[in-house]
Amino acid sequence: MSTKEHNADAEAVVDHVKAEVRRNRRPSVQFIDKSLIRRRSSGQEKQQQQQQQNQQLTRLQSIDSHDENEAPDTDQQKQDSTASDTDSDAEDGVGPNIREMQHKNKNGFNDFAVRRIKHAEYGRREIQIAEQEMPGLMALRRRAESDKPLQGAKLVGCTHITAQTAVLIETLVRLGAQVRWCACNIFSTQNEVAAALAEESIPIFAWKGETDDDFWWCIKKAIGGDQGWQPNMILDDGGDLTHYCHKHYSTLFSTIKGIVEESVTGVHRLYQMCRTQTLTVPAMNVNDSVTKTKFDNLYLCRESIIDAIKRCTDIMFGGKQVVVCGYGEVGKGCCSALRGMGCFVYVTEIDPICALQACMEGYKVVRLEEVIKQVDILVTASGSKNTITRESLDKLKNGAIVCNMGHSNTEIDVSFLRDSASSDLQVERVRTNVDHVIWSSGKRIVLIAEGRIMNLCCSSVPSFVVSITACTQALALIELYTAPPNRYKCDVYLLPKKMDEYVASLHLPAFDAHLTELSDEQCKYLGINKAGPFKPNYYRY
């Protein structure tokens, strides 16, 4: 054999072994049960895989010695692997105890807890992308930064930790606020983004895949009692932070100026506190503001539901039968997207007005029991409790997909799955945020994100729509913080319509949209001011 042929054979072997190493370097799942179920590798399997990889690398190094042009990866190249390449095991609950780790950023700041601070650079890039698609919030930052309307505010926040939220957090800091933050959902945190915020010395306590104990620990750390820090404003998403403060730090409310809440669940809790006269500070209901309801709930869900289900199941939607429980703004967005993909869509609804709207849009309004046995996908968007029960799940056909688009994680009752000893069902992990629930008969359904909000757990959401919501939150915080004493009582308020219109106006330049101006005569005829507000409070849009 000639030298040229020998070198060609050696190069072919090198390429083959390299390909094997790449395939085996990060095995995300292992196949069992005749390739029908995917789950995480056991510790023994991972040990065997590591041994195989070491053997392959040894072979590769011996072959590479014949080729002077080949060089092993440098340490810098290893560090340049993307964060997503190194985080999948951690997101599945494998890895060190974040609470016990010694955290420190490049400046020596250590008042935070995130998955991997070294991934801050990737998170910063994510934030930069989000900033480009959040024109309204960036415009608000530029306009208000010099005035510092939140100077002196000590704000504790509990929201989804995403690139879009990071833009809001950094905007609040630029407007003068001191902040401490934690996550409102154990699955929705983007670890790289949390690391980027920690690198900027922002106290943040969040990582993807928290346990329930971790979740409450992070809330406690964010409140900052151990650091001698006392908040005077709360930004909440779901009401857990407000509930925890009320239960464990009730004395804080003597200095808190207000609460801003953006979710159905959290607003419901605030109204309950108001009825029982346990709400001792003013609260702003951002969830029911026009800019939140009509844009975040509708358009965000319309775009994100398809992406989330696709990522989790690789399903083709055409011809599938889907039932959406609830035809509020979230349900409207989900139904629109699913029908656009070729699904047959059924709607369940308790409200005759919403039900009539669904009928007028061409959807079949049914009771769940009428269609439960035939549907392929079941989506909850009701904001209620136990919309889907064990009885409903028992009736689903084999292979059905069950997921939740509502904020509350109580819409799908999965409590009977948490105790494996008493449950007659088997739960097997397929991939991150995807489980098979298996009956003794062999029937299995696909449960996404353990019944928690699917789009934020399993995919991303449109930054532009989040910009609208984030502007609304920022303005609500400014309004409550700067309001004169006694303007707001211990009650739940909606954002003034003038502010809703201002938020919308901040986003119109992105579309090169130009508003028509009323003449003085038209203003007099309509009985409105030329600068707005343009609709009465009872207008429904």
292 is in an annotated binding site: yes
Strands of the sheet with 321-325, listed across from one edge: 364-365, 344-348, 321-325, 377-380, 401-404, 444-448, 434-438, 426-431
Does 189 score more than 70 pLDDT? yes
258 is in an annotated binding site: no
Does 320 score more than 60 pLDDT? yes
pTM recorded for the entire structure: 0.76
237 is in an annotated binding site: yes
- Structural contact between residues 223 and 249, judged by C-beta atoms closer than 8 angstroms: yes
Model pLDDT for residues 217-250, shown as the tens digit of each residue: 999 999 998 888 999 999 999 999 999 999 999 9
Does 469 score more than 70 pLDDT? yes
Tokens coding 534: 């343009």
Alpha-carbon torsion 488, 490, 491, 495, what sign? positive
CA distance 124 to 195: 9
Tokens coding 337: 């997207």
The amino acid sitting at 505 is S
Model pLDDT for residues 257-299, shown as the tens digit of each residue: 999 999 888 999 999 999 999 999 999 999 988 888 888 888 9
CA distance 521 to 534: 15
Phi, psi of 421 (to 5 degrees): -70, -35
Is 214 or 86 the better-scoring residue by pLDDT?
214
CA distance 482 to 486: 12
331 is in an annotated binding site: yes
Closest CA to 435 of 187, 190, 207, 206: 187
Model pLDDT for residues 404-432, shown as the tens digit of each residue: 998 778 899 988 777 766 678 999 999 88
CA distance 91 to 120: 17
pLDDT reported for residue 176: 97
pLDDT reported for residue 539: 85
SS3 at position 259: strand
CA distance 458 to 450: 11
228 is in an annotated binding site: no
46 is in an annotated binding site: no
232 is in an annotated binding site: no
443 is in an annotated binding site: no
Does 136 score more than 80 pLDDT? yes
How sure is the predictor about 28, in pLDDT bands with cuts at 50, 70 and 90? very low
Model pLDDT for residues 241-264, shown as the tens digit of each residue: 999 999 999 999 999 999 999 988
330 is in an annotated binding site: yes
199 is in an annotated binding site: no
Domains of the chain with bracketed CATH: 98-288+484-511 (3.40.50.1480), 299-458 (3.40.50.720)
CA distance 392 to 447: 13
Closest CA to 493 of 279, 341, 304: 279
**Bond into 72 cis (ω within 30):** no
435 is in an annotated binding site: no
CA distance 521 to 525: 6
Q: Which of 17-28 are b and which e, b meaning 16 or more Cβ less than 10 Å from the residue's Cβ?
A: bbeeeeeeeeee
Tokens coding 215: 């979740």
333 is in an annotated binding site: yes
SS3 at position 356: helix
Model pLDDT for residues 61-100, shown as the tens digit of each residue: 443 443 333 334 444 443 443 333 344 444 445 567 999 9
Burial of 41 (0-12, 13-18, 19+ CB in 10 A): middle
- Structural contact between residues 493 and 285, judged by C-beta atoms closer than 8 angstroms: yes
pLDDT reported for residue 16: 57
Does 46 score more than 80 pLDDT? no
CA distance 254 to 221: 20
- Structural contact between residues 308 and 459, judged by C-beta atoms closer than 8 angstroms: yes
375 is in an annotated binding site: no
Contacts of 16 (CB under 8 A, 6+ apart): none
Model pLDDT for residues 442-458, shown as the tens digit of each residue: 999 999 999 988 887 78
Mean residue pLDDT of the chain comes to: 85
